[in-house]
Amino acid sequence: MGIEDADTEENASGSQNYVISPVYCALPRQPGDLPTLHGSGAVQIIKGTRLHSIYGRERAEEGYFCSYHVNPAFVPRFEAAGLRIAAVTETGEVRAVELPGHPFFIATLFHPQLGSKPGEPHPFVNALVSAACV
């Protein structure tokens, strides 16, 4: 994307362009609070995405360990560079992106593998293994 000092805020580099920033759920609400770094939540899966074709539905409840996410200020630049938003929270925060035309470039901030059980893998895990076997 041509951002010379792009960085993640966790590095505290002093960059003017933190493309990755802390998620609200990871920030202490009041002094002395501990961050909430795990849980589950609903994600809205965008129609027409590869992720939607994997899930076969528009909403899923997924587990996560949250700390950082895509800085919302950079979403338009990510999209202009070719990344497609594939899933968002109910408030519109990005939870998955994909790169159209790539054999399997889907990045999520949730952990589909947490939904797998012995003999019953999560559909995302099945799709990843299938893509790897081609």
Spans of all domains in the chain: 6-132
CATH number of the structural domain 6-132: 3.40.50.880
Instruction: Please write the tens of the pLDDT for every residue from 30-70.
Output: 555 545 556 678 899 999 999 999 999 999 998 877 677 88
Q: Compute the C-alpha angle 108/6/100, nearest 5°.
A: 40
Alpha-helix residue ranges (DSSP H) falling in 36-96: 50-55, 75-80
Helix (H, G, I), strand (E, B) or coil at 132: helix
Distance in angstroms (rounded) separating the CA atoms of residues 3 and 5? 6
Mean pLDDT within 107-116:
88
Query: Is 16:4 a contact under the CB 8 Å cutoff?
Result: no
